[in-house]
Amino acid sequence: MKSYYDRKAKDPNFEIGDRVWVFTPKTKQGLSRKLQHHWHGPFRIIKKLSPLHYHLRACNTNCEVTSTVHANRLKPITDPDERPILPPPEDCPSDPY
């Protein structure tokens, strides 16, 4: 089992200063879990405690997160301006619907 996991696992490649989303699956009582947002942020990594644990700071309010966050709960933020945008394919009028 461990050997199978080790073949697929990747080391996290987060650096200090990277912007990330944090996964928090907890929901408030009385609210639908299905309709809640589970990825919160953006946060900025301010300290690397170990290869897998990080201290974060909120980008908007500049408040530090009080607990350490494991790398499995982090996802890097991709800037929308850096995403490749392809032009729409041109339709040929002679093609059937």
CA angle 70, 82, 16 (to 5 degrees): 30
Cβ(41)–Cβ(77) under 8 Å?
A: yes
pLDDT 10s digits, 65-88? 777 899 999 999 988 787 778 777
Strand partners, 75: 21
> What is the C-alpha to C-alpha distance for residues 74 and 12, in angstroms, rounded to an integer?
9
Confidence of residue 61 (pLDDT cuts 50, 70, 90): confident
Report the predicted TM-score, pTM, of the whole model to 2 decimal places.
Answer: 0.69
Cβ(36)–Cβ(27) under 8 Å?
A: yes
